[in-house]
Amino acid sequence: MEGKIMKKNAKGLSLLIGSSLLMTTLAGCGGTSNMTDSTASEAEYYQNDTYTEGAAQAPVNSDAKSADERGKYSAGTNNNYKYSDNTTDNYYGDKKVINNNESYTKPEENGFNLVMNQPLSTFAADVDTASYSNVRRMIEDGYAVGEIDPESVRPEEFINYFNYDLYEPEKGDLFGITTEVSACPWNSDNQLMFVGMKTGEIDMEEAPVSNLVFLIDVSGSMSSRNKLPLLQKSFDELVDSLPDEGTISIVTYSGEEKVVLSGEPMSNKKGIKKAIDKLHANGCTNGQAGMQKAYEIAQKYFIEGGNNRVIMATDGDLNVGISDLDDLEKFITDKKDEGVFLSILGFGEGNYKDDKMQTLADCGNGNYSYIDSLEEGKKVLVDEMSSTLYTVAKDVKLQVEFNPANVNAYRLIGYENRMMDDQDFNDDTKDGGEIGAGHSVVALYEIVPARSPKAIDLKYQDEQKAVSGEKVKYAHEFATVSVRYKDPDDDKSQLFSVVVGDDVVTENPSDDFKFAGSVAEFAMILENSENKGTSSFEDIIKTYKELEETDDYQDEFFYLVKTLSKRS
């Protein structure tokens, strides 16, 4: 497959949250914090090789740049088979994870599966990106590799944070599928398979009318500058970009819930922003009562065939009123089945409850993003508004069937908390993931080729092949990728499949392939993966030099890599 060059018009990231932000974490209820305003400096980091510890540096480029224009940097589970040696440099030293009373959790890392034993890999689609922007915040705050909680790193959210030049859906199709197979960057004996899925953009003039309920945490823990004040600025940006048709309601919660606006026409943007800007933080966190009130309002203004959604903004510290998180999850799931979806926006640091917010978003047919700067707020709520707010496919599941004639074993990178039983793929009662307009989902598989010296030979399977004269019907196929999904207003799923043939195997991978592989390497280094092989910051930076064109977000990624490498 010929590589396609991404030409994304990204807005310049002109300001990053500085690491000098000082904040007093609130314990319990009612307090406010005294803090020093964050310090941020702007620098064209891709042209400047100087780094000062503790100072935030910001990308200011606005268009895609060629390699010549950029500055040059100096240099499991299941069967649990081991196919790689961990020869990467030790970046961890004697560093210890900085907890800061934040909570993260994820299942054990995916291991390799023998295709003869487990030919199918099944998982729910996931377009969350919170893990990447949250870890970015940690790096900007001065964390070294060993100080970042490995459980805060979800590789699929790192990979899916970025845009890729994927095939658009053909006429009549909901998805376009892009596949590519080439050498694995961190293990020369293995290959890497890139699977990208993209939905079409939506014409905002033809978009469903929206009934949005902003559920805003105004408890004392939200008083910090990178919480409620940042939330207010981000929501003001969203309101300005929304169409005039539809309604917005605002429910706040702290010690008690309060309806600030109820069914306000979106055309009254001035009044809506005024209501948002008047909010202030104080009191305890009664998230459950606020959630119930928000869904009550959403149901009151429910639009048949419309976009009915609760957007919850919080630091996740639901410390009062939640007698049982399972009950809250069931409540959100039931409301999802009634047609009201939930999106989660996380803010701040210290007492940040990532695990709770991720769970709630998954239950509510929504996405989960972390807002660490006004620029990220614009990215999620303005630049990617159609993807964030408008669901075009629900209960999306992917199933990859590998061909044992070409693949001996495979390992899915990330998606540990989205794995599904193979039989659930065809079961319409089993929940999948949700994808918005223009969204893309990328999955990477590290695969052991059937003819690899590290392939595990199975006596009786080989004998069966010998009996058939080594004739394999699908000898030129690596895998089949199947996608099952439902339309937003339908409960019956549809099936879409493509074959990954040997025509997509290449020795000259595309920029998308190289970049996604670099992001996977970075995530594996941060989570200290036992499958990271020869992954290193140096290799990632070397790959950066090879990319023909990059955008702002990619440049920022490589800046973060370079920053961490200097702290090692």
Please report the beta strands in 427-545, taking only residues with DSSP state E, as ranges in sequence order.
Answer: 433-436, 440-449, 477-486, 494-501
Residue 59: predicted pLDDT:
38
Q: Are residues 167 and 267 in the same domain?
A: no
Q: Are residues 312 and 371 in the same domain?
A: yes
CATH of the domain at 270: 3.40.50.410
Q: How far apart are CA 286 and CA 269, in angstroms?
A: 28
Q: Are residues 441 and 467 in the same domain?
A: yes
Q: What share of the chain is helix, strand, coil (3-state, %, to 5)?
A: 30, 25, 45
Residue 27 lies in a domain: no
pLDDT band at 76, cuts 50/70/90? very low
pLDDT band at 286, cuts 50/70/90? low
Asked which of 386, 419, 449 is the last residue of a domain, the reply is: 386
pLDDT at 21 over 70: no
Q: Are residues 198 and 212 in the same domain?
A: no
Q: Are residues 140 and 76 in the same domain?
A: yes
pLDDT at 211 over 60: yes
Give the pLDDT confidence of 119-168 residue by residue, as tens digits: 999 999 989 999 999 999 999 999 999 999 999 999 999 999 999 999 99
Give the pLDDT confidence of 343-353 residue by residue, as tens digits: 999 999 887 88
Q: Which has more confidence, 356 or 406? A: 406
Q: Are residues 241 and 186 in the same domain?
A: no
pLDDT at 321 over 70: no
CATH of the domain at 563: 2.60.40.1230
pLDDT band at 472, cuts 50/70/90? low
Exposed, middle or buried: residue 219 (CB in 10 Å: 0-12, 13-18, 19+)?
buried
Q: What percent of the chain has pLDDT over 70?
A: 79
Residue 19 lies in a domain: no
pLDDT at 458 over 70: no
Residue 65: predicted pLDDT:
53
Q: Are residues 129 and 51 in the same domain?
A: yes
Q: Are residues 82 and 223 in the same domain?
A: no
Q: Are residues 140 and 231 in the same domain?
A: no
Residues 357-361, mean pLDDT to the nearest whole number: 87
Q: What percent of the chain has pLDDT over 90?
A: 64
Residue 189 lies in a domain: yes
Residue 8 lies in a domain: no
Residue 169 lies in a domain: yes
Asked which of 386, 408, 423 is the last residue of a domain, the reply is: 386
Residue 40 lies in a domain: no
Residues 260-273, mean pLDDT to the nearest whole number: 98
Number of folded domains in the chain? 2
Q: Are residues 483 and 545 in the same domain?
A: yes
Residue 21 lies in a domain: no
How many angstroms from the chain centroid is the CA of residue 59?
A: 21
Residue 500: predicted pLDDT:
97
Q: Are residues 324 and 450 in the same domain?
A: no
Residue 160 lies in a domain: yes
Asked which of 364, 386, 408 is the last residue of a domain, the reply is: 386
Residues 196-209, mean pLDDT to the nearest whole number: 91
Full residue range of the structural domain in which residue 159 is found: 45-202+393-567
Q: Are residues 478 and 409 in the same domain?
A: yes
**SS3 labels along 406-454:** CEEEEEECCCHHHECCHHHHHCCCCCCEEEECCCEEEEEEEEEECCCCC
